[in-house]
Each structure stands twice: as structure tokens, then as C-alpha cells.
């Protein structure tokens, strides 16, 4: 990597001539992810392969969150940050670059695409970010410039591994871990074939573990402190049957909580799609003790934190993080959403509009368009469906049917939000005993309705998908510059197998990029750019999914059969004999 100090004034000199520019159309602009970007000869622009960085972020589970904070520490012209903001209509972005020229150009590009209200572009130094910022981010992006001399890069990595301190860009990025929110991801674009060494540097100098790796990208998450013995854990159940896990960490610099309700959109009336998501929004409109609308989010923000929520098919999750001193007061506010919410009726129209805004953001998003196909393929006699909700579903259709949306929302809350269907996780600097006392005082008043919600095959005696609707090839006309091929399998619900995680093992093998792997063979043939294997995530509960997605090259759009034959041949090989180990201890 380039040395931060040595390149302070001329960060990009010598790199601009090394072929690391997108091809321009001759007008001083480039086209990337369907967006036009202004260029300048003094501003570094990463290689075209950096589209993979954007694709990796879009495939993260957290990218489906309603609110998202993204920090790009190598902003350049904004070619990574701005496409992500365009794809996620409610995300907020911060872009940092050491070059004033780059920041000025990124601002112009943001304005060009009407994103200037949701992004802040600033001149900044990587080494000073942790000291100067208190916000936490869900995604941190880094696409650092690098020397064209591979031998020089390798020497730099080895020096970083030997030293406890270094001024290299890679080490500076590693030290950004305090800015990552719980559950957040650091995603980097790196020189092809060097991610393994870079991962070792990042994990040595930062509090990270490798979560995913390709030949030119790394996805890292915060390391759990459980392994070094600095955290104590306890599980207990309250008298109302609410289950609780607490983690005591005297060294933690943030405290937080997450509560999962064992109910989601698949429990709502099918003639009121979006009801569960609408309730998730309405829950934050105030409580009896804290009736002022917006007081909760204001408190969280004033205490250096963030709050979020998401509605899945079979669960709804609410979470927050704050500075450690504010945990007790934050929990007091948080708990009352589940024991004494106001569900203020006057907020109905505003929250319907908020839900509609999220729906509109996904209309052209390839991820949500895939979900739409899955939804349309489902068996109508099975409860499974995916419904974010929008103005038509939540305002117009109920009126035509003579239904009172607000009354139905209250009924849904009263029927399904039960303490025995909730699980709470809390982490703070207090002792386990202190955390337990704090929780018992605040969460024991949540009502227990004795609710029993089945999972897996017990959800319905009907299959979620019928063979005639599932076993087929579906063609989708993209609305963005996307060339992809996805294979999906519906498999029995994997929840009970959480200890052994067979689908995680299978997913790792299918997405492996080593010599002789499926990905390596297809890349050698020039058929794919990348391969990602994944599971169903928040869609699961009655069933599980195993998916293999390929980003295709320009010439392979019509090579579906050849790619499919390679995939199923590889699966056949795995069925004959599984490799004992394909994953090194250092991550990869």
C-alpha cells in the first residue's frame, strides 16, 4: 500500500498513469452502475473492478435495513458511495478524502444525481478519523490506492505484520474499528490475489475478524471479546417468559440492546400486506412515560448512539446502541415500547408515507426485484409472503375493502406481541448481576399472552412453493446495468441445526475461490466476474434457502446452460466426498 505520510501532498501521483482509471467516454466523465461521474486528471479513480465492492455491500444483510449509515474513507469521485446511496433511498453517507480536489468533484457528482441532501463530503485524514468522530457506521468502505509494484506491496504487508505500529493506509484503516456499529461491516477493495495477507494485517492492527473474502474484496466484522475472556455472559428468563441474554464487558466503549419479536409479515392478514412493517414504524411514536414524539431517537442521538428496526418474514427486530453511561435510561425508554406504547393514531399517515418511501426505494433495486419474484412464486395456500407495504396497500386498498388499518394494527400488536415470544440481548460495562437487575426492573411488565407460533414444517400443511412454480427458469428484464444468474434451492428450515450449520458449510464450499473451485473454473473460461453463495436470512422461518449467484461477463449472458452444468457437476463431486478443510485459521 502507499505510505500515508509520503503521499500526503501528491497522493495520486504516479498511480494515475498505472492504468487504474475507468475508461472515459472522452468528455471527462465515466459511467458506472448506470450513473455518470465527472472526472479530473488530478483525482484518482479506482479500477473498473471496484464495481465488485458495491455489489458486495448490496448483498450484505444489513443493506436491507430501513436506515443505514455509510462511511467511505477513500471517497475519490464518489463512485462507490453514491451508487449505494442511490440504491438505498434512506441511507446517509459520509465521504472522506485527503484530496480537496476529490472532495470537490464528489460533491459535484452528488449534486448531479440529487444526492447532496444525503451525503457529506469532507477533506480528512484517516489517522484522525477515530479521534474526531463519535458516530457509529453500519458500513465502512475503503478502496485505497496502491503501488503498481507488487513486490513493494508485499514488502509493505510483511512490514506491517512485523510492526506494532505503522503509518500505512492499510493499518490506518484497521484502526477504524471503534467507528463500526455492532453488526456493521468494513468492506475493502484490494489488489487481486492479495486479500489473504491484507486480512492478516487488518486483523493484527484492528479489532476485526474476516467474515467473507474474494480475490479482491474483504468483508470484516468486529471481533467478539468472548475469546479473550473479557466478557461474561448470562442467560435467564423473566417471570413473564421473556428470554434474556446479557453480556458484561468492562472494556466496551458502546452499550446496546436488541429485542426480537417472534412474529413478522407472514403472520399478518394477506389482504393487508405491510401491516407488520407498519406496526414496526408506529411502535416508535411514543410511550405513556415518554409521550413526546421523537423523544426516544433524540435521546439516542444525544448519547452518541443509533437506533434501528427491521421486519422479516417470521421475526421483527428492534435495536439501539448508546454510550455506556446512558444504557439504563435507554433501556427504560426501549422497554416501554413493548409494555405501554401509545401507537399514536395521528402519526398514521406520516408512517404510511415512510413505509411507502422504503417501498419505492426498492422498486429498481435488483435485490428487491429478486424478492418480488420469490414472492410471486409462493404457494398462495401457504402463509409465506413478503410485503413491505406502500401507499396503495396501506391507505387505498383498506378503504376500498372497508377495513380500518389502525384498528387492524392495534389488533395485530395485541395478538402477537407477547413476552413469551420475545428474546432480549443487552451488552454493557456493568456486571452480569447489575445488568440482570436493570432488565428485570424494566421488562417484567411486558404482558405474556401464552402465544405459540410454529416454525418449519409446522407453519402449514401446505408446501411454501409448488414444483410447477419453482422448478423453472425465470428471466428478469433488469432496470439497471446488471448481468446476473442465480440458482436457488428451497430446503427444510435450518433453525434447529444452529450448532452444526450445514448450510453455512455448503455455502462456503460453493462460493470458494481457490484453485480448482467452481468460481476459479468459470473465471478461467471467462464466464463470470464473481460468485457469491448465500442463505435466506430474514426470509426463513417456514423453510430455508440456499442460493448461488453469479455476476456474468459481457459475453456470457447466453451461457446459462454451461454455467449450470459446471455448478451441478461441482455439487455432484461434493455429494461423493466433502473436503475436510478449505478454510484457514487466519480467515480466507
Q: What is the pLDDT of residue 409?
A: 97
pLDDT in tens, 290-318: 999 999 999 999 998 889 899 999 999 99
Q: Which residue is associated with the grid cell 474476516?
A: 210
Q: What is the pLDDT of residue 579?
A: 65
Task: State the sign of the Cα–Cα–Cα–Cα dihedral 522, 145, 77, 183.
Answer: positive
Q: What would the mean pLDDT of 440-453 be, rounded to a whole number?
A: 95
Q: Which residue is associated with the grid cell 459511467?
A: 31
Helices marked H in 49-123 — which ranges? 51-58, 81-87, 100-112
3-state secondary structure of 473: coil
Q: What is the pLDDT of residue 580?
A: 54
* pLDDT confidence bin for 406, thresholds 50/70/90: very high
Q: What would the mean pLDDT of 512-524 be, rounded to a whole number?
A: 87
Q: What would the mean pLDDT of 417-446 be, rounded to a whole number?
A: 96
State yes or no: is 415 an active-site residue. no
Residue 23 has pLDDT above 60, yes or no: no
* pLDDT confidence bin for 216, thresholds 50/70/90: confident
pLDDT in tens, 107-151: 999 999 989 989 999 998 887 887 776 678 999 999 987 778 888
Chain centroid to CA 579: 30
* Those residues with Cβ within 8 angstroms of residue 207's Cβ, 6 or more apart along the chain or in another chain: 177, 222, 223
Task: Give, to the nearest 10 degrees, the angle between helix 405-416 and helix 348-362.
Answer: 80
Whose CA is closest to 124, among 150, 95, 96?
Answer: 96
Residue 450 exposure: Cα atoms within 13 Å on the Cβ side: 0
User: Bigger pLDDT: 17 or 409?
Assistant: 409
Q: What is the pLDDT of residue 11?
A: 38
Beta bridge partners of residue 188, listed in sequence order:
142, 218
Residue 544 has pLDDT above 60, yes or no: yes
Residue 62: exposed, middle, or buried by beta-carbon count in 10 A (0-12, 13-18, 19+)?
middle
User: Bigger pLDDT: 340 or 156?
Assistant: 340
Cα angle vertex 588, ends 557, 97, to 5°? 80
Taking the C-alpha atoms of residue 131 and residue 403, their distance in angstroms, rounded to an integer, is: 53
pLDDT in tens, 341-368: 999 999 999 999 999 988 987 887 777 8
Residue 583 has pLDDT above 60, yes or no: no
Chain centroid to CA 585: 24
pLDDT in tens, 189-201: 998 888 889 999 9
Residue-range domains of the chain with CATH: 29-223 (3.40.50.150), 237-456 (3.30.830.10), 483-576 (3.30.830.10)
Q: What is the pLDDT of residue 525?
A: 94
Residue 203 has pLDDT above 70, yes or no: yes
Mean pLDDT check: name the lowest of 43-47, 122-126, 347-351, 490-494: 43-47
Residue 6 has pLDDT above 70, yes or no: no
And the C-alpha cell for 316? 421483527
Q: What is the pLDDT of residue 24?
A: 37
Q: What is the pLDDT of residue 229?
A: 59
pLDDT in tens, 546-579: 999 998 988 888 899 999 999 999 999 988 876 6
Cβ neighbour number for residue 520 with a 10 Å cutoff? 15
In percent, the amount of the chain with pLDDT more than 70 equals 91
Contact by Cβ (8 Å): 39, 106: no
> Which range among 50-64, 405-419, 509-523, 542-556 has the greatest average pLDDT?
405-419
Phi, psi of 468 (to 5 degrees): -70, -25
3-state secondary structure of 64: helix
Residue 13: exposed, middle, or buried by beta-carbon count in 10 A (0-12, 13-18, 19+)?
exposed
Task: Give, to the nearest 10 degrees, the angle between helix 150-162 and helix 195-205.
Answer: 30
State pTM to two decimals. 0.71
In DSSP notation, 395-428 reads IIHHHHHT--HHHHHHHHHHHH--GGGEEEEEEE
User: Bigger pLDDT: 119 or 168?
Assistant: 119
Whose CA is closest to 53, among 167, 192, 178?
Answer: 192
In DSSP notation, 541-558 reads SSSEEEEEEEEEPGGGTT
Taking the C-alpha atoms of residue 339 and residue 356, their distance in angstroms, rounded to an integer, is: 27
Report DSSP state, residue 393.
I
Check 55, 268, 280, 436 and give the catalytic one.
Answer: 280
Per the prediction, the chain carries an average pLDDT of: 87
Task: State the sign of the Cα–Cα–Cα–Cα dihedral 382, 387, 392, 397.
Answer: positive
Mean pLDDT check: name the lowest of 24-38, 139-153, 225-239, 540-554: 24-38
And the C-alpha cell for 393? 396497500
Q: Which residue is associated with the grid cell 434447529?
A: 496
Taking the C-alpha atoms of residue 70 and residue 77, their distance in angstroms, rounded to an integer, is: 16
Amino acid at each position: 500500500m502507499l505510505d500515508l505520510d509520503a503521499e500526503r501532498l501528491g497522493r495520486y501521483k504516479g498511480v494515475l498513469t498505472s492504468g487504474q482509471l475507468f475508461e472515459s467516454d472522452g468528455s471527462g466523465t465515466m459511467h458506472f452502475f448506470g450513473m455518470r461521474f465527472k472526472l479530473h486528471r488530478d483525482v484518482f479513480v479506482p479500477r473498473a473492478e471496484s464495481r465488485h465492492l458495491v455489489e458486495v455491500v448490496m448483498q450484505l444483510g444489513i443493506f436491507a435495513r430501513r436506515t443505514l449509515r455509510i462511511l467511505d474513507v477513500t471517497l475519490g469521485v464518489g463512485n462507490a458511495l453514491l451508487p449505494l446511496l442511490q440504491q438505498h433511498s434512506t441511507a446517509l453517507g459520509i465521504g472522506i478524502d485527503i484530496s480537496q480536489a476529490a472532495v470537490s468533484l464528489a460533491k459535484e457528482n452528488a449534486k448531479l444525481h440529487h444526492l447532496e441532501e444525503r451525503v457529506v463530503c469532507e477533506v480528512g485524514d484517516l489517522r484522525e478519523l477515530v479521534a474526531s468522530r463519535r458516530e457509529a457506521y453500519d458500513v465502512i468502505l475503503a478502496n485505497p490506492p496502491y503501488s503498481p509494484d507488487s513486490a513493494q506491496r508485499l514488502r509493505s504487508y510483511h512490514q506491517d505484520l512485523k510492526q506494532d505500529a505503522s503509518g500505512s493506509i492499510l493499518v490506518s484503516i484497521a484502526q477504524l474499528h471503534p467507528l463500526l456499529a455492532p453488526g456493521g461491516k468494513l468492506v475493502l477493495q484490494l489488489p487481486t490475489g492479495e486479500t489473504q495477507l491484507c486480512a492478516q494485517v487488518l486483523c493484527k492492527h484492528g479489532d476485526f475478524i474476516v467474515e467473507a473474502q474474494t480475490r479482491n474484496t474483504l468483508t470484516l466484522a468486529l471481533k467478539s471479546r468472548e475469546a479473550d475472556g473479557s466478557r461474561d455472559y448470562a442467560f435467564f428468563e423473566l417471570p413473564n417468559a421473556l428470554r434474556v441474554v446479557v453480556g458484561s464487558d468492562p472494556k466496551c466503549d458502546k452499550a446496546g440492546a436488541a429485542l426480537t419479536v417472534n412474529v413478522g409479515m407472514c403472520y399478518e392478514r394477506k389482504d393487508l400486506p405491510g401491516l407488520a412493517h407498519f406496526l414496526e414504524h408506529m411502535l416508535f411514536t411514543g410511550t405513556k412515560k415518554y409521550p413526546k414524539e421523537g423523544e426516544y431517537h433524540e435521546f439516542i442521538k444525544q448519547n452518541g448512539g443509533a437506533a434501528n428496526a427491521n421486519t422479516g418474514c417470521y421475526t421483527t427486530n428492534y435495536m439501539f446502541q448508546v454510550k455506556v453511561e446512558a444504557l439504563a435510561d435507554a433501556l427504560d425508554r426501549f422497554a416501554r415500547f413493548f409494555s405501554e406504547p401509545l401507537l399514536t393514531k395521528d402519526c398514521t399517515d406520516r408512517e404510511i408515507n415512510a413505509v411507502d418511501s422504503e417501498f419505492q426505494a426498492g422498486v429498481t433495486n435488483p435485490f428487491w426485484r429478486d424478492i418480488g419474484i420469490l414472492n410471486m412464486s409462493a404457494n398462495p395456500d401457504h402463509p409465506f409472503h413478503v410485503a413491505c407495504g406502500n401507499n396503495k396497500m396501506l391507505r387505498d386498498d383498506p378503504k376500498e375493502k372497508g377495513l380500518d388499518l389502525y384498528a387492524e394494527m392495534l389488533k395485530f400488536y395485541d395478538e402477537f406481541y407477547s413476552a413469551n415470544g420475545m428474546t432480549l440481548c443487552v451488552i454493557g460495562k456493568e456486571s452480569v448481576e447489575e445488568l440482570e437487575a436493570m432488565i428485570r426492573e424494566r421488562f417484567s411488565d411486558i404482558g405474556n399472552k401464552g402465544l405459540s407460533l410454529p416454525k418449519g414444517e409446522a407453519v402449514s400443511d401446505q408446501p411454501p412453493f409448488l414444483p410447477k412454480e419453482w422448478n423453472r427458469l425465470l428471466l428478469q428484464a433488469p432496470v439497471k446495468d446488471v448481468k446476473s444468474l442465480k440458482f436457488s434451492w428451497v430446503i427444510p428450515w435450518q433453525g434447529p441445526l444452529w450448532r452444526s450449520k450445514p448450510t453455512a458449510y455448503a455455502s462456503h464450499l460453493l462460493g470458494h475461490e481457490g484453485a480448482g473451485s467452481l468460481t476459479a473454473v468459470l473465471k478461467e473460461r471467462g464466464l463470470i466476474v464473481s460468485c457469491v453463495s448465500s442463505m435466506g436470512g430474514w426470509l426463513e422461518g417456514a423453510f430455508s434457502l440456499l442460493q448461488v449467484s453469479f455476476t456474468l461477463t459481457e459475453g456470457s449472458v447466453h451461457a446459462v446452460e454451461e454455467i449450470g452444468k459446471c455448478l451441478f457437476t461441482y455439487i455432484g463431486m461434493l455429494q461423493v466426498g466433502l473436503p475436510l478443510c478449505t478454510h484457514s485459521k487466519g480467515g480466507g
